[in-house]
Amino acid sequence: AKDTKTGVAVYDPAMQVEDGSRLLLLGDLRRALDSTDQLTLHYQPKIRLNDGQVSGAEALVRWQHPTRGAIPPAEFIPVAETTGLISRLTLYVLRAALGQVRTWLDDGLTLPVAVNVSPRCLLDAGLVGHVVALLREFDVPASLLRLEVTESAVMANPATATATLTELHELGVRLSIDDYGTGYSSMAYLKRLPVDELKVDRTFVLHMDADHDDAVLVRGAIELGHNLGMTVVAEGVEGIAHVAALQALGCDIAQGYHYARPMPAADLSRWISDQRP
């Protein structure tokens, strides 16, 4: 697509057709994966609501394009997901995240890190092997790695997804259902999955104080998660009112701008030591 004013090509994630902007993005992303300085990870802390302690961090990819500047993941992840490039990106993120966990361990900080895994990667026969190899390479305990998958990723191919998740679980890797409430849920599958964490989508948390339906959904998700023996995380916690409401509902963990935005690894370790008296 071309910007009508400047005539400059822009990426349009909504574009499904095999057109110039999509190919341009894929080419640029391929180069970014080969370069060493365009893709980095930011980390956002997850806070335990009962004692305020940091329980872990979510790794979120950042792309600094050489000419276009920062491109948000919501723009390039969906395009990468339409091709095999998402598998390369996922491996890139896994490697960077586990390398960071190792660096933190060497610095005396034991911090579990969560990595987002796209639906397509969940069906990738190589995923489990790559995870095993990377855990070994960085000598990181499997329990410090968490993988976040969406319900729709599982439901797209329940048998394969369940088999992959079960293998990962048997290795000791932790698993979360991400964006809970946005996909179509199947209680039957949720029950069968070796998942120990449910992350309530931020759109519901954001409006839980104003929108009755959202409040009901958040309450229901917390109950469901607890009934299935899971830890429940609220995403998109932006204000103190959210914190109070979530605590009243018995939510276990919160993540959001109220506590901290995603930030570079060095900033997070500083942030964590500043939290500790």
The SS3 of residue 202 is helix
Tell me the residue nearest to ligand C2E as measured from the CB.
256
Q: For 2, which DSSP code?
A: B
Residue among 74 and 188 whose Cβ is closer to ligand C2E: 74
> Is residue 151 a contact point for Ca ion (CB under 5 A)?
no
With CB under 5 to 8 Å by kind, the binding choice for 55 among ligand C2E, Ca ion, none is none
d(CA 69, CA 46): 28
> Is residue 264 a contact point for ligand C2E (CB under 6 A)?
no
Tokens of 47: 């806070």
At 36, phi and psi to the nearest 5?
-110, -10
| Minimum gap (Å) between residue 33 Cβ and ligand C2E | 12
> Is residue 164 a contact point for ligand C2E (CB under 6 A)?
no
Residue among 47 and 93 whose Cβ is closer to ligand C2E: 93
> Is residue 61 a contact point for ligand C2E (CB under 6 A)?
yes
Residues in contact with ligand C2E, total (CB under 6 A)?
22
> Is residue 197 a contact point for Ca ion (CB under 5 A)?
no
d(CA 246, CA 102): 33
Q: What is the DSSP string of 135-178?
A: HHHHT--GGGEEEEEEHHHHHHSHHHHHHHHHHHHHHT-EEEEE
Residue among 90 and 269 whose Cβ is closer to ligand C2E: 90
d(CA 1, CA 12): 7
Per residue in 203-222, is it b (16+ CB within 10 Å) or e — as a string?
A: bbbbbbeeeeebbebbbebb
Residue among 249 and 263 whose Cβ is closer to ligand C2E: 263
Site string for ligand C2E, 80-99 (x = CB under 6 A): ----------x--x------
> Is residue 116 a contact point for Ca ion (CB under 5 A)?
yes
- Chain contacts with ligand C2E (rule: CB under 6 A): 44, 60-61, 72-74, 77, 90, 93, 116, 118, 178-179, 202, 235-238, 255-257, 262
